[in-house]
Structure 1
Amino acid sequence: MARIWFVTGSSKGLGLAIVEAALADGDNVVATARNPATVNHLVEKYGPDRILPLALDVANNEQVESTVKAAVDKFGRIDVVVNNAGYAIPRSLEDSSIDIYRDQIDVNLLGTVYVSKAVTPILRKQKSGRILQVSSVGGRMATPGLSAYQAAKWAVGGFSGVLAKELSPFGIKITVLEPGGMNTDWAGFAGDQIISEPYQQSVGEFQKIREQYKSYRSEPAKVADVIVKISKEDEPPLRLLLGPETFDLAKQVGEELAASDEKWKAATLLSI
């Protein structure tokens, strides 16, 4: 039986690739985006019985709830949820306005929370379902200029770990997807990437890292194929790194943290 996918941020990049991969695999998709017209070509290819494009701003909780309801009204159920909507504006904290900072938290973190909360009672009653949270390997890192984005992704990882334990008794599986660089315009629409003179050395590091790993950037279609396969696993991982550079990056971060803990172990034990 065809599964029903609910995907946010479907207009381009990884989100669009996931929609295409799920449809090609024989499943049906509710493709949500701020501009759902971007998937009209898939409606023409697969037909309106298999794909439902819906407008959605994930930072608007009321809209999230009504869109999830529309999805269930159309297909009767939801089997796989992909919280993919997200973006970054690379700037130092000092160079960021509070509005710019807050909006990144609203979309990258609260949007994930809103959608997860809206679908939970549906999946719980079904006693089955998958929630795939598109985070980032940056959710384990600390990259200058990405404090808002990475704070949100760190939080998505913690939130999802707790949610996985809450929903496990109901047969609901959660996986936090942690991709590295991809050939998308992830920060392309975000406006001017301001790096003021005092932050050229620290925040400028971000651009150097992006260039350093440019040859390692994954193709969204290949990542999407892996995601479709993972969605079928009986015992999927809670966290999954995606991309050739991510394993070494995550390993380095883990080793640095362990080394710091060991270095300051004496101070830790003094707290007893």
Structure 2
Amino acid sequence: MAKTWLITGSSRGFGWVLAKAVLEDGDNVVATARRPEQLDDLVRQYGARVRTCALDVTDAAAARAAVELAVEAFGSLDVVVNNAGYAIYAAIEDMPDDVFRAQIETNLFGLVNVTKAALPVLRKQRAGHFIQFSSIGGRVGGTPGLSAYQAAKFAVEGFSEVLNNEVKPLGIKVTIVEPSAFRTDWATRTMPVSEDYERSVGAMIRSR
């Protein structure tokens, strides 16, 4: 029987590749993106087995709507992939507070929003699987310029480990994915680097 997947951040990178692989395997997908028109190619290629919707993961109501779409369209929700995220390179001192907080909002609280939206459905089913995209930087950390991103990913790992222990008795699985360096555009933005941070943050940016 075909499974139903909800994948955040489906318009590029891991989300796009995973959505296509799942659809090729015969499963159903609710693919989400901030700009759902970027997912039109999936609809043209896979038809009724894919639904698309606009989702800013920092919007808890929108996360609930995406989960409702999956259940209404396909009757169940089997796999939730929390993939949406981004990073901006900057030294801690150089990064404005709002830029730092925005990364935490998307990379941590966005994942929390989608997870909490899906939990009632998976709990009722007594089955399901959360796939939480973290990063190798969420386990070892220390990369100059990625303070906000890696702080969020460390938190994602702690949150997901607790989640696993809470939902395992309910038949729900939790998997943490920790990619290393891949050629995706998750960190295409940088901020000006102060002279004193050129040897650490500047060198890291130039080495990408």
The TM tier, using the shorter chain, reads over 0.9
In 1: Cα distance, 2:22 partner to 2:119 partner: 21
Partner residue in 2 for 1:86 = 85
In 2: Cα distance, 1:124 partner to 1:208 partner: 46
How far did 1:88 drift?
0.2
Partner residue in 2 for 1:60 = 59
1:68-147 alignment, distance < 5 Å:
68-140=67-139, 141-147=141-147
CA RMSD of aligned residues (A): 1.1
Partner residue in 2 for 1:238 = none
Structure with the greater alpha carbon radius of gyration: 1
In 1: Cα distance, 2:204 partner to 2:13 partner: 21
Bigger shift: residues 60-69 or 155-164: 60-69
Partner residue in 1 for 2:205 = 207
CA contact (8 A) 1:90 1:194 kept: no
Instruction: Specify every segment of 5 or more residues in structure 2 that has no aligned partner in the other structure, as ranges.
Output: none
Amino acid at match of 1:11: S
Partner residue in 2 for 1:233 = none
Q: Percent of aligned positions with the same letter in both sequences?
A: 53
Please list the CA deviations of residues 225-261 of structure 1 after superposition, one character each: whole Å capped at 9, or x if unmatched.
xxxxxxxxxxxxxxxxxxxxxxxxxxxxxxxxxxxxx
In 1: Cα distance, 2:191 partner to 2:77 partner: 38
Partner residue in 1 for 2:174 = 174
In 2: Cα distance, 1:77 partner to 1:143 partner: 40
Corresponding residue pairs, total: 207
CA contact (8 A) 2:89 2:205 kept: no
Higher relative contact order structure (alpha carbons within 8 Å, sequence separation ≥ 6): 2
CA contact (8 A) 1:31 1:54 kept: yes
Partner residue in 1 for 2:28 = 28
- Where 1:2 maps in the other structure, the secondary structure is coil
In 2: Cα distance, 1:205 partner to 1:155 partner: 26
Amino acid at match of 1:45: Q
- Where 1:202 maps in the other structure, the secondary structure is helix
1:139-158 alignment, distance < 5 Å:
139-140=138-139, 141-158=141-158
In 2: Cα distance, 1:66 partner to 1:185 partner: 27
Partner residue in 1 for 2:184 = 184
